[in-house]
Amino acid sequence: MNLKLFIDQAICSALTQAGAAEAPAVIKNSQRPEFGHYQANGVMGAAKRLGLNPRVLAGTIIEALDFPAAAKVEIAGPGFINIHLSAEFIAASLTELRQYSQLGVQSRVAETIVIDYSAPNLAKEMHIGHLRSTSIGDAAARSLEFQGHHVIRANHVGDWGAQFGSLLAYMDQLDTSGVALGSELKDLERFYMAASRLFKSDPEFAHRAREYVVRLQSGNPRCRALWQLFITESVKHCQAVYDKLNISLTPADIKAESDYNADLPVVVDELTSQGLITVSNGAKCVFLDEFTGKDGNPLPAMVQKSDGGYPYMASDIAAVRYRSQTLKTDRALYFVDARQRLHLSQLFSVAKQAGYITDTQDFRHLPFGVILKEDGKPFKTRDGADVKLIEVIDEAIARAFELVSTKNPELDAEQRHEIARVVGVGAIKYAELSKNRLTDYVFDWDTMLSFEGNTAPYLQYAYTRIRSVFRRADIDPSTLSGDILIQEPLEMQLGLKLLQFSETVDAVTEDYQANILCNYLFELAGLFMSFYEACPILKAAPEVTTSRLLIADLTAQVIQQGLDLLGIDTVEQM
C-alpha cells in the first residue's frame, strides 16, 4: 500500500464532500517523517481558487474526513492539515506487511518500457564515465520491473562508424604479418591507441583506414570477419564488467547501432516521402524550427552524409522506429550523458514529426552529470587517457578487502574476499546512485567506503547487525509468528518508515532519481540503530520480543530489497 496515496485519497474525498469538487488535484501530502506525520499542503491553493479562508476550509475538510487510521488530525500554520497515524494502524499495517509479497509495493498496470542504458562505444574499453548510465539505468530497470512493468533493456552499443576503419586496417596488417590477433586484442585500449596513433602519423595508413570503412559498409567479407572478431572481444570485455559490477545486462540485451543498418535507407525514404528532408551541402537533413544555433540559423539533424554514409542520428531514428513500431513500447527512457541533450531532443522531435513516436508514447532523455576527480577536474589518467572501469572496480574491491581485513581479521580469507567484492562494488554504485542524477559529483574513495554516513557499507553493515541478532538468538525469522505491537516512540517512527517503502519506490520511478531510495534506506537504517539501542529485543517480555524481532526482520528485508533495487548485494556477516 502506498501510504501517501492512501492519505491523499482520504483528504481528496473529504475535500469533495466539503463542496470543493474541482479542487482535489491540488492536494498533496508532504511527508515529514521527523514528526511521524503526514501533511496536506494543498489546502491553501484550493482555498484560493474557491475564494475561502484556508483555515476555515481546512476545518471543513477535517470535519468531513472519515479516516480511522488517524489518531489525530489538526490544522497547522496558515492552513496545513497534519495527519498523525495511530499506533494501532501502524502496528496492524506492519503485521499485514509481512503477509504481502514485495513488502507492500503494489504491481502496476504493466507497461512496456524500453530502457536505453550503458551503451558503450565498442571501439574502446569501458571507462569510468560509463559507471553513470550503467548503474543509474540498471537501478531504474530493476525498480520498474519490481513494480510489475515489462522492461526491455536496450544496450545501444556503438559498433559502427569511422573509428572502426583504423581498427580494421590495423588488425589486417597484424594478421598478415603473422601476429596472433587473439592475444593482441586482449588489451583493447592499447590496441585502439596503437591504431589511432598510426592513423595520425602515417598518411598511407590513414588512407587505408578510410577505405576499410567503405569496405566494411559495403559488406566486404574479410572486413566483416575482422570486424566481427573485434566486436566479439569487445562485447566479452563489457560483459565481464557487467558481471563484476552486478549489472543485470546480458549479451542478449545488446541491440547495436549496426543492427539497424538495413533500416537506414528505409528511414531516409520514409522521411523523404513525408517531405521532411532538405539537402544541405549534399547531406540529407531535417530542419525543425525549434532548433536554431547561436547565430539564429536553423540547426540540421543530419540523417545521411554527402558520401552516402549514415551518422549517429540515423541509427538512433531507426532505433526509435523499432522501439515504437516493433516493440510497441509505452515508454522509452534514455539514460544518456547530459552532453547529448541536443542530439536526443532533435531525435525525439524528428521522430514525432515522422509519426514514429505517437501521442501516447513517452520517449524521454534522463540526463546526468559527469564524474570529477577530487580537484574538481574531469576524471582522466595523468596522460589524459580515460580511466578504465574494470580497474576502478578492481581497486574498489581491493580497498574493501583491506578494510574488511582490519575490521574483522578473524574471518577466513575466502569469506573476506566475498565480503570485499560485495562491499567494494556496492560502494562505487551507491556513491553514484545516492547523488542527484543531474549534478556532477566528485569521486572520493574514502567517503564511499566509509562505514558511517550515507554509504553502501553503512547499509550493508546495518543489515548484518540485524542478521546477527537472529544468529545469536538462533532464530529463523520465517518461523516467527505473532503480532507487531507499537509502544515506544522509536517503534512508531521505525514502523512508519517501514510502511513508507512502497511510496518511496513509487517516488523513485516518477523521475528516476535513485537517490530518493538511498536517502530512505539511510534514514531507515538510522532509525533502526536508534531503536536497537533504545528498545531491548531479546531481554523484553516474550510478546514484546516477538514483536521487536518481527520489526527487526522487516527492516532487514526492506534494506535488502531496497539495495537489490539499486543492484547492490548484502552479506550475512562482515
Among 41, 93, 121, 246, binds ligand ARG (CB under 6 A): 121
Closest CB to ligand ARG among residues 317, 516: 317
Closest CB to ligand ARG among residues 124, 416: 124
User: Which contiguous run of DSSP H or E holds residue 301?
Assistant: strand 298-304
Closest CB to ligand ARG among residues 236, 341: 341
Query: Site mask, ligand ARG, residues 46-85, x = CB under 6 A?
Result: ----------------------------------------
Tell whether residue 316 is a contact of ligand ARG (CB under 6 A).
Answer: yes
3-state helix, strand, coil in the chain (%, to 5): 55, 15, 30
Tell whether residue 156 is a contact of ligand ARG (CB under 6 A).
Answer: yes
Tell whether residue 122 is a contact of ligand ARG (CB under 6 A).
Answer: no
C-beta of 205: minimal distance to ligand ARG in Å?
25
Grouping H, G, I as helix, E, B as strand and the rest as coil, residue 432 is helix
What does each C-alpha distance from 192 to 83, 123, 170, 187 come to in angstroms?
A: 62, 7, 9, 9
Task: Count CB-CB contacts under 10 A for residue 145.
Answer: 17
DSSP string, 33-52: TTTTEEEE--HHHHHHHHT-
What does each C-alpha distance from 314 to 267, 291, 349 come to in angstroms?
A: 8, 17, 13
Tell whether residue 158 is a contact of ligand ARG (CB under 6 A).
Answer: yes
C-beta of 120: minimal distance to ligand ARG in Å?
6
Closest CB to ligand ARG among residues 134, 570: 134
Tell whether residue 159 is a contact of ligand ARG (CB under 6 A).
Answer: no
Instruction: Restricting to residues 327-366, name those near ligand ARG by CB under 6 A.
Output: 334, 336
- Contact residues for 114 (Cβ-Cβ < 8 A; gap 6+): 152, 154, 323, 327, 329, 331, 332, 333
> Which residue has cell 543530419?
302
Task: Count CB-CB contacts under 10 A for residue 292.
Answer: 12
C-beta of 336: minimal distance to ligand ARG in Å?
4
Distance between CA 13 and CA 1 in Å, rounded?
18
C-beta of 119: minimal distance to ligand ARG in Å?
4
DSSP string, 245-279: TT----GGGB--GGGGGGGHHHHHHHHHHTT-EEE
Contact 478, 408 (CB under 8 A): no
C-beta of 337: minimal distance to ligand ARG in Å?
7
Closest CB to ligand ARG among residues 147, 361: 361
C-beta of 125: minimal distance to ligand ARG in Å?
12
Distance between CA 342 and CA 345 in Å, rounded?
5
Instruction: Restricting to residues 419-438, name those near ligand ARG by CB under 6 A.
Output: none
> Which residue has cell 577505405?
211
C-beta of 378: minimal distance to ligand ARG in Å?
15
C-beta of 78: minimal distance to ligand ARG in Å?
47
Among 12, 47, 119, 431, binds ligand ARG (CB under 6 A): 119
Contact stretch for ligand ARG (CB under 6 A) within 49-57, 116-124, 454-462, 480-488: 116-124
> What crossing angle do the helices spanning 542-565 and 87-99 adopt, rounded to 10°?
60
Closest CB to ligand ARG among residues 348, 501: 348
Among 8, 116, 253, 553, binds ligand ARG (CB under 6 A): 116
Contact stretch for ligand ARG (CB under 6 A) within 57-65, 112-120, 275-283, 292-300: 112-120
Tell whether residue 263 is a contact of ligand ARG (CB under 6 A).
Answer: no
C-beta of 335: minimal distance to ligand ARG in Å?
8
C-beta of 384: minimal distance to ligand ARG in Å?
18
C-beta of 237: minimal distance to ligand ARG in Å?
15
- State the cell numbers at 160: 559502427
Distance between CA 298 and CA 300 in Å, rounded?
6
C-beta of 130: minimal distance to ligand ARG in Å?
8
Closest CB to ligand ARG among residues 335, 470: 335
Distance between CA 385 and CA 560 in Å, rounded?
37
What does each C-alpha distance from 126 to 88, 123, 158, 272 come to in angstroms?
A: 53, 9, 12, 37
Contact stretch for ligand ARG (CB under 6 A) within 51-59, 118-126, 248-256, 490-498: 118-126
Contact stretch for ligand ARG (CB under 6 A) within 28-36, 114-122, 201-209, 470-478: 114-122
Of 15, 17, 71, which is closest to residue 40 (Cα–Cα)?
15
Binding site residues, ligand ARG, CB under 6 A:
116, 119-121, 156, 158, 316, 319, 334, 336
